């Protein structure tokens, strides 16, 4: 059975999509068959790997993923691109119980072919994020090292716990990773202490540093690992990948 990570945070700009891309690529480079699903209507996980959004999302059309999957430069990593089609977004975000059940079942059926699946969800607690959480085995939360890092997390945890109670196979916390970590700032250390004191061992030891290469990589359609293999960002995401694999 695949380990399925929902990469989630209701705040934008916390490194959610960057983490989804970088971790998916690192896991795939370890030899595991990996799928990255772009469920964010902004489609940044798709464009960040150098591809165009799809015109028709297979989750809306209820067609097999095979016709939409994109092979990436890493042989063991495939991408299910996102869609900016307004009708698709509307259909995916509709709170329709029957349609949600069909989407959920299709995700479960299609994801069984992989060792690891990472779902880049929207920066919200809306219906689409809840579908992603319900289809996942683990929720993975990037948190930016800033003053409002804890803002909104209580509400998000409430949503996650609610889905945990509804699921028969138990969604669990896969981990929290601190992003945009600037060791020279006292605020960074304050946030680090606060998050670790509050969440304990589910916070990864690895932190993702501020690194200009991380910001530049998406504009070249590459993961940080391919764009700048010797950078601090690459080293951090490889170390994070090792932690994730060890927790499995």
Q: What angle do CA 156, 129, 87 make, to 5 degrees?
A: 145
Contact 108, 8 (CB under 8 A): no
CATH number for 214: 3.40.50.300
Contact 13, 149 (CB under 8 A): no
Q: What angle do CA 138, 142, 147 make, to 5 degrees?
A: 140
Contact 28, 118 (CB under 8 A): no
- Residue numbers of the domain that contains 112: 3-247
Q: What angle do CA 189, 157, 208 make, to 5 degrees?
A: 35
pLDDT digits (tens, 9 = 90+) for 79-115: 999 988 867 777 777 776 777 788 878 888 889 999 9
Q: Which residues contact 182 (CB under 8 A, 6 or more apart)?
A: 145, 188, 209, 210
**Residue 167, pLDDT score:** 63
Query: What is the number of structural domains in the chain?
Result: 1
Q: How many residues can be counted in the chain?
A: 248
pLDDT digits (tens, 9 = 90+) for 220-232: 999 999 999 999 9
Q: Which residues contact 25 (CB under 8 A, 6 or more apart)?
A: 72, 74, 77, 223, 225, 226
Pick the closest to residue 75 from 28, 144, 116, 114 (CA basis): 28
pLDDT digits (tens, 9 = 90+) for 117-162: 999 999 887 888 888 888 899 999 999 988 777 776 777 777 787 7
């Amino acid at each position: 059975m695949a380990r399925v990570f929902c990469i989630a945070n209701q705040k934008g700009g916390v490194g959610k999509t960057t983490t989804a891309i970088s971790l998916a690529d690192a896991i795939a480079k370890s030899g595991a068959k990996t799928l990255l699903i772009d469920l964010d209507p902004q489609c940044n996980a798709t464009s960040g790997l150098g591809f165009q959004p799809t015109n028709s999302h297979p989750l809306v059309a209820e067609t097999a993923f095979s016709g939409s999957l994109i092979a990436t430069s890493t042989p063991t990593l495939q991408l299910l691109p996102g869609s900016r089609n307004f009708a698709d977004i509307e259909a995916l975000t509709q709170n329709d119980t029957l349609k949600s059940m069909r989407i959920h079942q299709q995700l479960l059926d299609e994801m069984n072919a992989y060792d690891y699946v990472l779902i880049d969800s929207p920066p919200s607690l809306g219906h689409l994020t809840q579908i992603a959480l319900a289809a996942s085995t683990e929720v993975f939360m990037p948190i930016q090292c800033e003053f409002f890092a804890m803002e909104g997390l209580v509400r998000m945890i409430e949503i996650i716990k609610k889905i945990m109670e509804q699921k028969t196979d138990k969604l669990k916390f896969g981990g929290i990773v601190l992003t945009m970590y600037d060791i020279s700032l006292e605020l960074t250390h304050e946030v680090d202490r606060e998050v670790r004191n509050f969440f304990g061992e589910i916070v990864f030891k690895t932190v993702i540093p501020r690194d200009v290469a991380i910001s530049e990589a998406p504009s070249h359609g590459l993961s940080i690992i391919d764009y700048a293999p010797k950078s601090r960002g690459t080293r951090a995401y490889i170390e994070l990948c090792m932690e994730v694999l060890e927790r499995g």
